[in-house]
Amino acid sequence: MLSSSNPLLEAKGITKYFGTITALENVNLKVHPGECLGVVGDNGAGKSTLMKVLSGLYKPSAGSLFFQGKEEILESPRDSQNLGLEMVYQDLALAGNLPIGENIFLGREPTKKFGFLKLLDFNKIKELTNAHLEKLKINVKSADQKVEELSGGQRQAVAIARSTAFNAKVVIMDEPTAALAIKEVGKVLDLINSLKKTGVGVIVISHRMDDIFTVCDRVMALFQGTNFAEANLSNTTRDEVIGWIMGKK
């Protein structure tokens, strides 16, 4: 069913060298609208490098990226953001000293003209933040709360809110539940499910089989920088996927 629609994002033959080290070799990946792709692999399998290529942080040594069928060359994270490709980093990439709203709009702040000056529009930031958090059913005391005052789960929620505030079409999440307390994991997974329902394509990198088997539709395994195995979730088992991570088929 899912594979019948055109992929939102497709990576073909991605190769990345760091000096003499081959981090990725001829890796393919695609994700469809409303689909969640799980990417698994051991430490050093190339997951993070692949995500950084997709987000425009690294330029691939070879291979190409297609977004909605059109080939794109990403020079910086700004380029991928402009396409609607958003990344939620494992360290969340939030500025703890700034309030929730300013984090969500960081780098893309709404402004208003004040004579010849362009100043930040704090009312608009607050208004848009509240509306967006409400849409995603994220509960915080106030949009003015500093991020450093939030719990791990709330921070993850803010990071996800941030990634979807600008009509994201594909959201890539690096270990979204790794740093969370158990009771917070469920909330974040619910959030991912509601994102899928809005037609967003989600890529989740995770070590946790629970995450993969709760939210993903398809899983692919990287092993030593190459595509190792791939299957729809309905056609595989946890044990098989764990085997792939260790390089066993």
Partner 1 sequence: MEDKDKKIESLHLKLIPYFEKYGILLLLVLMILVMHILQPDVFLSWRNVTNVFKQISWQSMLALGVFMVIVTAGIDLSVGSIMMLSLMILAVVAKAGAPWFIVVITPLIAGFLCGLFNGLGITLLRMPHPFIMTLGTLYIFRGAGNLISGGTPISGFTDEVRYLGHGRIDLQWLGLEKSQYLPVSLVLIAIVYIIFWIFLNKSKTGKWIYAIGGNPNAARASGINVNKILIIVYSLCGFLSGIGALILAGRTDSGYPNAGLQSELDAIAACIIGGASFFGGRGTVLGVFAGVMIMGILRNGLNLMDVSSFWQQVLIGSIIVLAVYIDVLRRDIGTRK
Using CB under 8 A, pick the residue from 19, 107, 116, 197 that binds partner 1.
Answer: 107
Residue 94 engages partner 1 in binding (rule: CB under 8 A): yes
Region 58-77 residues binding partner 1, contact defined as CB under 8 A: 76-77
User: Which residues are 56's β-sheet partners?
Assistant: none
Tokens representing 96 are 């703890």
> What is the rounded CA–CA span in Å between residue 230 and residue 237?
12
Among 44, 59, 71, 78, binds partner 1 (CB under 8 A): 78
- 3-state DSSP helix/strand/coil % of the chain, to nearest 5: 35, 30, 35
Region binding partner 1 by CB under 8 A among candidate stretches 39-47, 93-101, 177-185, 192-200? 93-101
Q: Which is nearer to partner 1, 1 or 117 (CB)?
A: 117
Give the full edge-to-edge strand order of the sheet including 201-205: 85-88, 170-174, 201-205, 36-40, 218-223, 226-232
Q: Which is nearer to partner 1, 69 or 107 (CB)?
A: 107
Instruction: Tell which positions 113-142 bind partner 1, by CB under 8 A.
Output: 117-120
Identify which of residues 157 and 212 has a Cβ nearer to partner 1 in the complex: 157
Q: How many CA atoms lie within 13 A of 126 on its CB side?
A: 8
Rounded to a whole number, what is the distance in angstroms from the first to the last CA of the chain? 26
DSSP per residue, 206-247: -S-HHHHHHH-SEEEEEETTEEEEEEEGGG--HHHHHHHHTT
Site size with partner 1, rule: CB under 8 A: 26
Please report, as residue ranges, which positions from 17 to 56 form the binding site for partner 1 (by CB under 8 A): none
Nearer residue to partner 1 within complex by CB, 162 or 218 = 162
| Planar angle of CA 45, 49, 55, nearest 5 degrees | 145
CB of 46 to partner 1, least distance (A): 20
179 binds partner 1 (CB under 8 A): no
Which residues of the shown chain bind partner 1 in the complex (CB under 8 A)?
Answer: 57, 76-78, 81, 87, 89, 91-98, 102-103, 106-109, 111, 117-120
